[in-house]
């Protein structure tokens, strides 16, 4: 049942749409489309919009001077890669208007975005791509100060380097604890790729050490492939504690680096706490996030179910069967751009068909993947049956090597498409 807020929002919205939309669109030779967020979703969408219709006035709002990409940041933690390889500037965005400010509020009725310097910018259509906010109110003891001791490293940047440096400084024989959240969260296979690459580092540099995964779930992405590889490459090094064995962390104490679960408490030398997440703050203030903290969308247009003329793409959106990944974000952004470009010219948007492919590294030269094809069904993005799935459980090392190489080249291709 839709919430009361959604119903009221919807009613107000359709009146606003009727009053505003038509005259505005017809009056503007260069309709203004504003994109908030310069990650894989937002940067892809701004670029695609301009490619689709050069006469759109496309503005990208992003406060940072560079983007730090999460895919492959687990390799940085393990000392296999520099952070520079994760860093992408915003200097190749051609005639897309780039505003280096933070969007702080949206007036959905007047169709304006307010920026942190008090100015505002109008739009015919708005695309929000705010990614995730880490919740510092969901796990007792885990706030922003605690993250300086027990890093999440779930946004690439200083947190990645903090965890990397902690691992480098840990004496041999230490205990690393990684706590993984319940679904949904950014990058479902990410915690397990991270565990693999940390295990690789421990095996090669600190072989008497141990890694424990405390998990709020009983199952995870590519699980059989990860577990088989762990048995083969890291026997006795990784211990996975699922929800049903007391894996859910209910409280942390940064002072003693202790993680408390329903079944007891664990003291860590290094604690990597990946907390629960929700859509980035602007989604909450724009009224496009529901009680789950994420944003319900129309699967054809990516338009919010709660506010008219606001579209949401990437990790912040409720993508149905699509996981929250950089690949999904890029694919959704291009489909959304096509829909927005059609809508501002009063054309019918086409039914999209999307792909996701996520690679995970278990060790250098050992890659695995999960893929899916998606299309709108019953109001959600649903998987096309008979397609998709994971790498085979049994495969020669040459296949794992090939997938590791493809993972690297996928990263090069997608970042070059998104950031130029």
Partner 1 sequence: MTSHDMMRPKNRRGRSFAPVLVAALAASAPTWAGAAPGAAACTGCHGPAALGSAIPSLDGHAADDIVAQMQAFRSGEREATVMDRIARGYTEEETRAIAEWLAKPEAARHAQP
Sites of contact with partner 1 (CB under 8 A): 29, 47-48, 50-55, 58, 92-96, 327, 330-331, 334-335, 338, 341-342, 350-355, 357, 369, 371-373, 384, 386-389, 391, 399, 402-403, 405-406, 408-410, 412-414, 416-417, 420
263 phi and psi angles, rounded to 5 deg = -105, -5
Q: Shortest approach of partner 1 to residue 294 CB, angstroms?
A: 22
Q: Where are the beta strands (DSSP E) in 237-284?
A: 238-241, 249-253, 258-261, 264-267, 270-273, 277-279
Indicate the residue among 54 and 224 with the shorter CB distance to partner 1.
54
Q: Shortest approach of partner 1 to residue 140 CB, angstroms?
A: 39
Find out whether 128 and 316 touch, Cβ atoms under 8 Å: yes
Q: How far apart are CA 420 and CA 418, in angstroms?
A: 6
Q: How far apart are CA 46 and CA 62, in angstroms?
A: 12
Indicate the residue among 288 and 333 with the shorter CB distance to partner 1.
333
Q: Shortest approach of partner 1 to residue 97 CB, angstroms?
A: 11
Indicate the residue among 154 and 374 with the shorter CB distance to partner 1.
374
Q: How far apart are CA 246 and CA 256, in angstroms?
A: 20
Q: Shortest approach of partner 1 to residue 88 CB, angstroms?
A: 15
Q: Shortest approach of partner 1 to residue 157 CB, angstroms?
A: 23
Indicate the residue among 173 and 392 with the shorter CB distance to partner 1.
392
358 phi and psi angles, rounded to 5 deg = -120, 120
Q: Shortest approach of partner 1 to residue 341 CB, angstroms?
A: 6
Q: What angle do CA 139, 141, 142 make, to 5 degrees?
A: 60
Q: How far apart are CA 201 and CA 342, in angstroms?
A: 49
Indicate the residue among 10 and 97 with the shorter CB distance to partner 1.
97
Q: How far apart are CA 322 and CA 383, in angstroms?
A: 8
Q: Shortest approach of partner 1 to residue 34 CB, angstroms?
A: 15
Residue recorded with tokens 């490459």: 233
Indicate the residue among 44 and 272 with the shorter CB distance to partner 1.
44
Indicate the residue among 308 and 352 with the shorter CB distance to partner 1.
352
Q: Shortest approach of partner 1 to residue 404 CB, angstroms?
A: 10
Indicate the residue among 15 and 387 with the shorter CB distance to partner 1.
387
Q: How far apart are CA 163 and CA 88, in angstroms?
A: 21
The first and second tokens of residue 149, run together, are 């001791």
Cβ-based neighbours of 274, under 8 Å, separated by 6 or more: 152, 154, 178, 179, 180, 181, 185, 190, 191
Indicate the residue among 140 and 389 with the shorter CB distance to partner 1.
389
Indicate the residue among 66 and 384 with the shorter CB distance to partner 1.
384
Q: Shortest approach of partner 1 to residue 309 CB, angstroms?
A: 20
Find out whether 242 and 267 touch, Cβ atoms under 8 Å: no
Q: Shortest approach of partner 1 to residue 279 CB, angstroms?
A: 22
Find out whether 319 and 379 touch, Cβ atoms under 8 Å: no
DSSP conformation letters of 52-106: H-TTSEEEEE---SEEE--TTHHHHHTTSS-GGGGEEES---TTSEEE-S-EEEE
């Amino acid at each position: 049942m839709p919430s009361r807020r959604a119903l009221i929002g919807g009613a107000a919205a359709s009146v606003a749409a009727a009053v505003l939309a038509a005259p505005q669109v017809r009056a503007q030779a260069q309709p203004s489309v504003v994109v908030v967020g310069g990650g894989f979703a937002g940067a892809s969408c701004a670029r695609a919009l301009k490619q689709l219709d050069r006469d759109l006035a496309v503005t990208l709002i992003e406060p940072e001077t560079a983007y730090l990409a999460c895919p492959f940041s687990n390799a940085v933690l393990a000392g296999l890669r520099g952070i520079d390889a994760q860093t992408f500037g915003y200097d190749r965005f051609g005639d897309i208007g780039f505003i280096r400010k933070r969007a702080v509020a949206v007036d959905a009725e007047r169709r304006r975005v307010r920026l942190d310097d008090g100015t505002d910018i109008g739009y015919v259509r708005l695309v929000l791509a705010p990614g995730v906010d880490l919740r510092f109110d969901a796990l007792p003891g885990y706030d922003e100060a605690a993250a300086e001791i027990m890093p999440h490293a779930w946004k690439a940047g200083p947190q990645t380097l903090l965890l990397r440096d902690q691992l480098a400084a840990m004496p041999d024989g230490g205990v690393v604890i990684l706590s993984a959240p319940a679904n949904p969260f950014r990058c479902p296979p990410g915690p397990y790729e991270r565990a693999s690459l940390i295990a690789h580092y421990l095996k090669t540099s600190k072989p008497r050490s141990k890694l424990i995964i405390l998990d709020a779930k009983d199952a995870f992405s590519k699980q059989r492939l990860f577990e088989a590889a762990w048995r083969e490459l890291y026997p006795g090094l990784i211990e996975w504690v699922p929800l049903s064995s007391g894996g859910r962390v209910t409280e942390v104490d940064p002072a003693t680096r202790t993680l408390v679960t329903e079944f007891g408490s664990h003291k860590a030398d290094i604690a990597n706490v990946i907390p629960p997440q929700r859509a980035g703050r602007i989604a909450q203030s724009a009224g496009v996030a529901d009680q789950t903290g994420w944003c319900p969308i129309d699967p054809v247009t990516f338009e919010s179910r709660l506010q008219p003329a606001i579209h949401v793409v990437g990790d912040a959106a409720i993508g149905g069967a699509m996981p929250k990944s950089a690949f999904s974000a890029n694919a959704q952004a291009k489909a959304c751009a096509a829909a927005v470009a059609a809508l501002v010219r009063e054309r019918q948007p086409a039914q999209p068909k999307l792909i996701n492919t996520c690679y995970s590294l278990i060790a250098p030269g050992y890659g695995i993947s999960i893929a899916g094809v998606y299309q709108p069904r019953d109001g959600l993005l649903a998987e096309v049956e008979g397609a998709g799935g994971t790498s085979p459980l049994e495969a020669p090392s040459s296949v794992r090597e090939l997938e590791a190489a493809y993972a690297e080249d996928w990263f090069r291709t997608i970042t070059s498409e998104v950031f130029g």
